[in-house]
Structure formats: C-alpha cells, structure tokens
Structure 1
Amino acid sequence: MRFSPIREFILNNLTAHQKDIVKTVIRKFGLSRQAVLRHMYVLIQGGKVTAHGKTKDRYYTLKPIVQKTVTITITPELEEDTIGRKHLFPHLSGFSSNIREICEYGFMEIVNNVLSHSAGDECTLKLKITDRNVHLYVHDNGVGIFRKIKKHFDLENQHHAILELSKGRLTTNPKTHLGDGIFSIIHLFDTVQINSGGLCWKYDSSKGHQVVKSGSTKGGTSVLMNVSTSSHNTLQNVFNKYSTDSNNSLFDRAEVPVSLARFDSENLMSRSQARRLFRNLEKFYEVCIDFKGIKLIGDSFADEIFRVFQNQHPNLKIECINANVHIENLVSGVRNNGSNYSS
C-alpha cells in the first residue's frame, strides 16, 4: 500500500472518530464524500480498517493485529509479572522500548492493585493491538477502587476519592505500597478510563480530567489504558516532571486538577471546598494547581488556598496553570493583599 497523507490521517484519527471519520476527513482536506470512501476502501482491503454496520449507521475501527481475552481466578500465589509474561509481554516484542515500558508498567501496576486490594476472586484481562494503538483492559469483581478509598479515608463520596487519587501518593496500605501507581499510569498513557461504583474517571493527555456517571453500579473495577504506538513518553519523563531535586525523592511534585474538586455542576466558592482540594498536599514539596476548565472561583476559596494554607505551610511551593484572567487577578490579589480578600 503506497503512502498517502490522507490515509495516514485516517489511521491516526480513527480511534477518536469511529462514527464520523468520513466527515472529519472531508473537513480536513476538502475532499468529496466519494473520494474519502475510496480511501476507506483501500484501507479496508489492505487489512488496516474494519467497517461495521449498514450504510446509515456505519462506523469504522482499526483492525486488530492482536486481540486476546483471558479470565483468571485470583489466588494468594498469583504474581503480576508471571501473568504478564504469560499473556502480555510476548505480544510487545516488536514495539519500541518505551512502548513496552509503558505497557508493562501499566499492566503490572493495575494487576498488582487487583491482587493486593480488590478482595475479588476473578480478573479479566484484555489486550488489543492495532496498527496505531495498544489497548489494555483489566477488570476485577472486587469491592471497587472508589468505594474502598472513600471508606478507608472517611470521605464524603466516591467523587472525592477520585480527587484524592489524582493527587498521587495515595494508598490504603502504606506499609507495602507507595501509592504512586495510578498517578503514574494516568500520566504515562494517552488515555485512561477507570470505571467503578457508578462513576467513570476519564483522563485524556490532551483534554485533561473528566468524571461522569457510568450508569453501571455493579461491583468491581475496570481500567482501560490506551497508548499510541508512536508515543514518545517514558516512565523517566513522568518521574522527571513530577519530582524535584529538593530531597532526591520521586513524586514530590503534585499537579491537582481543580475540576475534580467540583461535585456535579457546583461552583467553587467555599473554604471547605478549598480544604478538600488541598487535603494531604502538605506531604509534597511543590503543588501545581490546574485550573483547566474552571471559569470562576470565589474569593473565600482563593483566600483559603493562597493565604491560609500557604501561611500554614510556608515551605510548600504553590503555582497555577491554565488560569483565566479573573482567576489570575484574584490569586494575585490574595497573595499581595490577603487581608483585603479574606472573608
């Protein structure tokens, strides 16, 4: 199959546009529908793409090179690296070292969580490899990750459990775990989706965090991890980004998505919301507050973080990213003239 920039675009964007890839290509290149469909036909005949459904409801997917599903009975003797060598690692041999590293790390961290924390008795593993992506899926029938964290840390709801997980350094068993596994995975893969207890926590490296109701309240936890085979990310990149040189320790820099502090569509106005956002962050050396998706915060919310909490922890470095002009001015005012903004 000869190289075509149009077909290359289709392959690179098909996963995100399964139902509207034809319209997406038309908008991008200004081609007619028939011209795009000819490119789709070439990809289908070349074994790169599969078409599903009839003309009206047709959608397309990348054709799997590897597609495997395994169900395992959880026993005390099971070890995550043994499971990986048997079911995953051999299929990664043809990929670059960083892709193997990302997939092996993500797989073993999630399976270790299942074996150590889920209290389930069965685990389902799925591997799907296409021309452009590696998809890993792990499901257990245990207590559910968000429920367990909510109960262990006496949180108000499972949504707050997701906020705590996003900060890193969170574990229900600090004697045997560091608590950085989920945090590392979130920032290694292109997209990660965790479903548990009726909530779905989605992270997209280009779009940020999102929590939605999944509609399913059945027990257990499902984790879906996707990485492009052209990704240049590495575990060392993640270590470097979220670690400082202050005390030679890993993950002493937190990046906190403010959007996860919101419950449903509520606005962030109160001191209690701010305290929830900064819960347990005193254990870090630097904290980066990400205001992506936040248009407005209240003065009490800002004052609690940038004056009260900062005064309580003067050695903690707090910075902001993705803040609009309103938030920047409010934060600047609190920092420079705290007494004028406190309430």
Structure 2
Amino acid sequence: MRIIALGGGFAGLAARKLGATVIDEKDYFVLPHRLVDVIRTGDPDIARISYPSDIIKTRVRKVDFRGKKVITDIGEIQYDKLIVSLGYSQNVIPGTLKIETVEEALSLREKINSSKKVAILGGGPLGVELAWVSKEMGKEVYLIEGKDRLLSFMSKEASFYAKSKLEELGVKVMTNTKVSEISGKIIHTTNGKIEADVSISSLGFKGPSIISEMGLTHVNDRMLVDDYLQSVDYDDVYGAGDCATTKGFIPMSAQVAVQAGTRAALNALGKDEKFSYRQFAVIVRIGDEYFGDFLGRFVKGSFAKLAEKIGIYRATRLVI
C-alpha cells in the first residue's frame, strides 16, 4: 500500500515514521517556534533542518481524488491512501506583516531594525515573544490583544506572568483592544489611535487556501475530518495537523500535529481508532525566562526550559 502525505511539517513527518511518502516543495523542515529567534539573531539555520533524502521535493498543483493521484511539477504520483498535512497560513489585516517562513522572518528583522515603533497584533505565545524580541532590539513596542488577557488559552498565572515581564521591559500592553483598520502608520483601535512604523500580525491562523481550491469541505480553510481523521468527502483521504479539524475542533499545535500525523497514518494502514490528543506543554520565552503550562499547570524557570528543550528534541527526531 502506498500512503502519500502532502506536506513535510510535524504531521507529515510523523506519518513518514510509519511508512508514508512525504511530498514537500521546500528543502528543509521549518521549526515555527524558532522563527522569532531568526528575527532576533538573523541566523536562518536556527529554524530549519534539512529534510531526509527520501522526501519528494516538488510543488503540488492539485489532487485527482477520483483517480487517486497527486499532480505535481514533476508529474503524477499515484496513491492508495492520502494524508493531507499542509500546515497553516495566516489571514492578516491589510497593512500588517506576517511570519510564516524563514524568509519572512529575515525580512521582518530588517524592517524592525529600520523602525522606531513596532506594533504587534495578537497576544498569544508568538505575539508575546515578538514583543520581547522587538523590545530587545531597542524599539518602542505596543502589544495589542482583543481579549481581556494575554495568552488567553493558557493559565491565568501564565497570562499574568507574561504581562508583568513585558511591562517590566517597557512594552505597552493593551488588552480588551481590537483593531479596526490600519492606514499607513496609523492603527485604528477601539481604544484610540496608535502610530507604528511596523505592524506585525501574530493572529489570524487558518488552513492553507489550497484546501478549498482542492474542493474539500472545510472550516476556515481547514479540511473537515471525522473522529478518525478521515475526510468527510473521500474514504481514502485523511487530514492531520493544522490544516485539518473536526466539527468539535482540533487545536493548531505542533504537539497535536505529531499525534494527528501518527494516528492518521495508523488509520490509513487499517488500525482504526478515534483520534484523541493531549497538549503536554505550552512554553513561552521572554529574555532568559521560560514559563508556561505543563499538563495544565503553570511552570517557570529550569523545569519550563527543560520542557521546551524536550519539545525541540522531539521535533528534530522527526527528520533525522
């Protein structure tokens, strides 16, 4: 049986461990949680790991689901079972910059370096770390969050700690504040206008547009799958990682993507089980401080740093 996985992110590479053949147009695996470090240091290799030689490196144009073949730049590739694991994209407010790729991270570094004021939209882990790095680079920084606290899906202790550490650095944290539009350097919010040279979006995460272009049933460009990660449209197609969700919702997370990629591959092999996931740790960094939630409990210091390092190790093990 030939199982093809579209996309060499966490889910696709987890499926590869169980025999799936991965197709990806890049030459390397991106560590999304390390893109902020690319901005901070200017070193692109911090966030990328070269793929193994068995990855098929080509661009996917479309999928013929009836004929069970993937149409790519190098020709047609037949499959018996298909795992769609194409990651995420960002739907940003016009006038803001995003950070999905290493190239975008390097470009953002240049733009931040040449600015005086930086605004970051979204107070999740990425937004918090972007605020810290921008402040470390000597900028006046605004962190704008629409909800009543930063890191809203994490513990209240993590939210409070993030806010207090950023404010100690001089970051202007604005919660309960929504952005209506950006006109040049002026950001229009529900709490007045802000001027910034660079506006960065750390929110608006969704599936890639190719999901809807393929004609798959989707929610916010995330293909809809059942409890077994099987496509609601085709019995021989599965979805895993950030590009897929059930009606009950699957969070967009590297840890969950690895679990989903593994389960999708096993189910494609006939070992049918419902998908269930566990979010072990969400760790955030501000300067030398590591903190976050481990199994739902707030942690900081050396234990949090260890949890973060274990996460990186597991991600690296997927590609070597």
Indicate whether the TM-score tops 0.5: no
> Comparing both chains, which one has the higher relative contact order based on Cα–Cα distances under 8 Å and sequence gaps of 6 or more?
2
Which category describes the TM-score, using the shorter chain as reference length? under 0.3
**TM-score of the aligned structures, taking structure 1 as reference length:** 0.23
Higher strand share: 2
Higher helix share: 1
